[in-house]
A and B are shown apart, each in its own frame.
Chain A
Amino acid sequence: KAGVTQTPRYLIKTRGQQVTLSCSPISGHRSVSWYQQTPGQGLQFLFEYFSETQRNKGNFPGRFSGRQFSNSRSEMNVSTLELGDSALYLCASSPATGVNNYGYTFGSGTRLTVV
């Protein structure tokens, strides 16, 4: 079966702009989580969505937001981009909420560069 699909793979944006990243989970998976990976901070949890509701949120400013659609696809948005937002954004899907229950399957990520 198809894995987790993230689009686009690469993005270059200018400081101050906003960006939307997309994630399509594995068919049948209803939970989508987002993680940010940077050289300095490593991998950090952004948020998790399940049945179109945000279930959990990491310690990130309000510029970072997301949503989930009825088909479980998810988007995350970053407004007023800063240079420090340059990162690999990874999406993970799971059949249900919480990583402990079923684990995650990760996508290949979207590499965002802010200039």
Chain B
Amino acid sequence: AQKVTQAQTEISVVEKEDVTLDCVYETRDTTYYLFWYKQPPSGELVFLIRRNSFDEQNEISGRYSWNFQKSTSSFNFTITASQVVDSAVYFCALSEGDSGYSTLTFGKGTMLLVSP
């Protein structure tokens, strides 16, 4: 069965610090997708990134970067020079298979609090 673990329940940083959110996943499939979502206090889940299991390239998007390592089953997310607006709950999610029946299995989330 698939599983996503986000060991960090809550992280507090001061603005401009770098912060890394950890995500470890379990799956028996060779084809799978990994996602990160951000949930601000308003409630909606905002899509950040999707990565398939065959693409281990790290990705950078502005202040955000993602480190995907199949050898350790990890898909970590780093925010560089954090800002107060980054405060939110961040979810890592996994979807197995390559079909139209794929759904998301979420981790428990990491609450990030960035103070001025």
Binding site for B on A (CB under 8 A): 3-4, 33, 35, 42-45, 48, 50, 55-56, 58, 88, 90, 92, 96-101, 103-109, 111
Query: For residue B44, which residues in chain A have a CB less than 8 angstroms away from its CB?
Result: 3-4, 90, 106-109
Binding site for A on B (CB under 8 A): 33, 35, 37, 42-47, 50, 52, 91, 93, 95, 97-109
A14 to B43, CA, bound (A): 23
Query: Contact: A99 with B47, CB < 8 Å?
Result: no
A89 to B52, CA, bound (A): 27
Q: Known contacts A44-B106, A90-B44; can you find 4 more A-B pairs with CB under 8 A?
A: A42-B107, A90-B45, A103-B50, A108-B42
Which residue on A lies nearest to B52, using beta carbons? Answer: A100
Query: For residue A92, which residues in chain B have a CB less than 8 angstroms away from its CB?
Result: 45
Query: For residue A98, which residues in chain B have a CB less than 8 angstroms away from its CB?
Result: 95, 99-103
Query: For residue B108, which residues in chain A have a CB less than 8 angstroms away from its CB?
Result: 42
Query: Contact: B109 with A99, CB < 8 Å?
Result: no
Query: For residue B103, which residues in chain A have a CB less than 8 angstroms away from its CB?
Result: 33, 45, 48, 56, 58, 98-99
Query: Contact: A99 with B33, CB < 8 Å?
Result: yes
- Contacts known (A106-B44, A111-B43); A42 close to B109, Cβ less than 8 A: yes
A33 to B93, CA, bound (A): 15
A50 to B102, CA, bound (A): 13
